[in-house]
Amino acid sequence: MNYKFFTQKKTGTPQTQPIPGQEAQMIQGRSGGWMFDAGLWKMLQRCLLIGTAESTYYAGKNELTEDFVEVTRQAIAKDPQRVAQEILYASDGRAINNSAPILALVLLSMGESPEAKKAFGEIFPQVVRTGSHFYEWLNYTKSLRGFGKVVREAGKNWFLREDVKGLAYQLLKYQQRYDFSNRDALRLFHVKPPTQDHQQLFEWVVKGWEVLPTEIPSGALAQIWWYEWLKRNPDQTHEAIVQGHLTHEMAAPVGKMDKSAWQLLFNEMPIGALLRNLGSLTEIGVLTSDESVNLQRVEAVLNNKEHLRKGRIHPIDVLKALKTYESGGKLGRSKKTWNPVHKIVDILEKAVELSFDVVQPTGKVFMHAVDVSGSMGFPIADMGLTCCEVAATMALVTAKAEKSYMIRGFSSQFYGLGITAKDTFRSAVDKASDKNFGGTDASVAYEWMIRKKYKADVICFWTDNESWAGDKHPSQALAEYRNKVNPNIKAVYITLAPYQITLVDPNDPLSWDLGGFDPGTPRIIQMLATGEL
């Protein structure tokens, strides 16, 4: 027995204590570890991109959402225009779904300053794009603030858009949501129709058509006419789908649906609906291994980068679809079962990669450190995926774009996951699944790299940031690595939970914190690596 442990020079501070001299920059996380304060705006970005409607390992969804609301209100008081831009950025296909931006939009409408209310009105139509968005916004508005002047103006203008055909499509597709119907909303906002088309559309919403007009009233109302015709002629479902360009939400509730009807729907099915219905279409028999023309259409739609972007298809949605489809119906909410078509699985694999923003190899050496501690085993929202599985996928996307890389996992140790660029996203998810255990110590990645003299240009941490188990802070271990191996290494921490903590030392110009599951993250990492940012 001796006291060497006490007398030897200490090279770091236990993560359960703040770093001496930097106490003012640090806060204690829910795990008990001390990390740097991410600040107001970084926290807002994370909440918008990741959402807070699902509990995490360290906090319940109510606690997380209370944090989200408080941060948003503080940000609105400081700079409502900046808040509006953050909402727009997240809403444009970068957030997991549009719910967090919609909630923040409601909070923006509650801002006390004229600037906040003006910003709300300006971005409203860009955030509230569909009937589903509209009724979600109504639901949050009713619960949180009521229907004052600024809300009534936004709601009224949503119904008064010049594109009556597009409005009719939304009102037909989403006839009621969130305890509101189209009729409720029209009466709530006292909308006065500015044109004849608006007049006829609103009359259909409020009264319906007891007698079907002998002719289609106008091109703007053609879809509604064919929907009403189908209600009266369900045996003519095929004709109504073709002539009226009806979607499955319109035709299925009132028509007689058989394989041929679904084939007709498939021929014009939008990208989002196609992604959600791959299993059903396979179960019905529209998508089979010998239906080459149909498989070609699936490939043309889902393996087109421009289609994915215009459809605001988030990579995590594609990954969820891949995991669900390959399961044959064992995962997800559907009660249907099907035999997966291998070609479709391959198409979805390619779609995952295409839905992220990456470019040609940078020539830099990357180390990807994926958090595989116990806290990363929790699911993300309703995606059917864990934080760790998504982290492994995003790391693999980045690795596939590069030639020199390594992907390893960290908890209280740092070990190989066996993931390489040759892996499919399915196999990468499998290798990352069910391996979540132990405490979290991000510093072990640097310690391993020091021992192995692994000279990386960039190290990327995919983590919830709740590092607490080490005898030195990650920022201290990074300084040691720079001193012993590579003084110019850049560190990027990709935060996968909506917490107000970061492992980035604010005094370090070569470390960055990126938030959430932004499809542009891999490209941003490449730009940081080459010095473009």
**CB proximity list for 3: less than 8 A, separation 6 or greater:** none
Paired strand residues for 366? 405, 458
Instruction: Determine the Cα–Cα distance for residues 237 and 129; give it in Å rounded to an integer.
Output: 29
Per-residue b or e along 395-431, where b marks 16 or more CB atoms closer than 10 Å to that residue's CB: bbbbbbbbeebbbbbbbeebeebebbeebebbbbbeb
Q: Which two tokens stand for residue 262?
A: 């679904």
Pairing between strand 458-463 and 414-416?
unpaired
Paired strand residues for 7? none
What string of pLDDT tens digits covers the 533 residues of the chain? Answer: 666 555 555 678 999 999 999 999 999 999 999 999 999 999 999 999 999 988 888 889 999 999 999 999 999 999 999 999 999 999 999 998 899 999 999 999 999 999 999 999 999 999 999 999 999 999 999 999 999 999 999 999 999 999 999 999 999 999 999 989 999 999 999 999 999 999 999 999 999 999 999 999 999 999 999 999 999 999 999 999 999 999 999 999 999 999 999 999 999 999 999 999 999 999 999 999 999 999 999 999 999 999 999 999 988 899 989 989 998 988 766 678 999 999 999 999 999 999 988 778 899 999 999 999 888 887 775 567 888 888 888 888 888 888 899 999 999 999 899 998 889 888 888 888 766 677 899 999 999 999 999 999 999 999 999 999 999 999 999 999 999 999 999 999 999 889 999 999 999 999 999 987 888 888 899 999 999 87
Pairing between strand 490-495 and 458-463?
parallel
Contact 255, 270 (CB under 8 A): no
For residue 172, give the nearest of 241, 251, 269 by alpha carbon: 251
Provide the pLDDT for residue 329.
86
Q: Which two tokens stand for residue 402?
A: 């590069």
Q: What is the DSSP string of 372-428?
A: -SGGGGSBPTTSS-BHHHHHHHHHHHHHHT-SEEEEEEESSSEEE----TTS-HHHH
Provide the pLDDT for residue 492.
97
Q: Taking the CB of residue 301, how many other CB atoms lie within 10 A of it? A: 18
Provide the pLDDT for residue 435.
67
Number of helices followed by number of strands (H, E) in the chain: 26, 11
Using CA atoms, how far residue 74 sits from 82, 83, 145, 286, 362, in Å, is 12, 10, 17, 52, 39
Q: Taking the CB of residue 41, how many other CB atoms lie within 10 A of it? A: 16
Instruction: Determine the Cα–Cα distance for residues 140 and 106; give it in Å rounded to an integer.
Output: 7
Q: pTM, whole model, 2 decimals?
A: 0.92
Q: Which two tokens stand for residue 292?
A: 């080459």
**CB proximity list for 470: less than 8 A, separation 6 or greater:** 12, 14, 15, 441, 442, 443, 444, 477
Provide the pLDDT for residue 432.
80
Instruction: Determine the Cα–Cα distance for residues 137 and 120; give it in Å rounded to an integer.
Output: 12
Q: What is the DSSP string of 29-57?
A: -TTS-EEEE--HHHHHHHHHHH-SSS--S
Instruction: Determine the Cα–Cα distance for residues 396 and 425; give it in Å rounded to an integer.
Output: 8
For residue 384, give the nearest of 319, 335, 329 by alpha carbon: 319
Which secondary structure element, helix H or strand E, spans residue 137, and what is its range? Answer: helix 131-144
DSSP, collapsed to helix, strand or coil, labels residue 510 as coil
